[in-house]
């Protein structure tokens, strides 16, 4: 089955700096890669996603890149703000909207004011 690894497990950055979280996956059939933000005791919230036919996607301060050959994808957050502090999970799936998600191990991001 799919295995998704995520690094780093914790990340602290100064407010205004950039944060990068990286994930690798094992299943070459995976073609959909979402990123979720989860606050304590809450459901995961989808913040950005990318499909395998795209190499990069950006939404304001958040961007995701995908290298399908190397089987890795990354989340980039620029101009970080205190409200960006949360746990972030990457995930992989074989089919958007139909298949299960395999989640990475999570990254606790702390923005230092």
Q: What are the residues binding other proteins (CB under 8 A)?
A: 32, 34, 41-44, 46, 49, 89, 93, 96-106
Backbone conformation region of residue 106, classed left if phi is above 0, alpha if psi is from -120 to 50, else beta: left
Q: What is the smallest separation between the CB atom of 90 and other proteins, expressed in angstroms?
A: 10
For the chain, the straight-line distance linking the first and the last C-alpha, in angstroms and rounded, comes to 41
Residue (16 or 96) nearer to other proteins, CB: 96
Cα–Cα distance, 12 to 30 (Å, whole number): 30
Smaller CB distance to other proteins: residue 13 or 101? Answer: 101
The smaller minimum CB distance to other proteins, of residues 8 and 96, is found at 96
Closest CA to 80 of 27, 12, 9, 10: 12
Question: Phi, psi (5° rounding) for residue 53?
Answer: -90, 10
Cα–Cα distance for residue pair 93/61, rounded to 1 Å: 24
Shortest Å, Cβ 87 to other proteins: 8
CB of 102 to other proteins, least distance (A): 7
Residue whose CB is less far from other proteins, 10 or 81: 10
* Least distance (Å) between residue 93 CB and other proteins: 7
Helix (H) or strand (E) holding 43: none
């Amino acid at each position: 089955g799919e295995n998704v690894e995520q690094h780093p497990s914790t990340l602290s950055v100064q407010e205004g700096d950039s944060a990068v979280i990286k994930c690798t996956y094992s299943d070459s059939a995976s073609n959909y890669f979402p990123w979720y933000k989860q606050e304590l005791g809450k459901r995961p919230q989808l913040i950005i996603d990318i499909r395998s036919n795209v190499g990069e996607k950006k939404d304001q301060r958040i961007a995701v890149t995908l290298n399908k050959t190397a089987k890795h994808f990354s989340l980039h957050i620029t101009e970080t703000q205190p409200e960006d502090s949360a746990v972030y999970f990457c995930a992989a799936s074989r089919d958007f909207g139909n298949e299960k998600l395999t989640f990475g191990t999570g990254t606790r991001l702390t923005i230092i004011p």
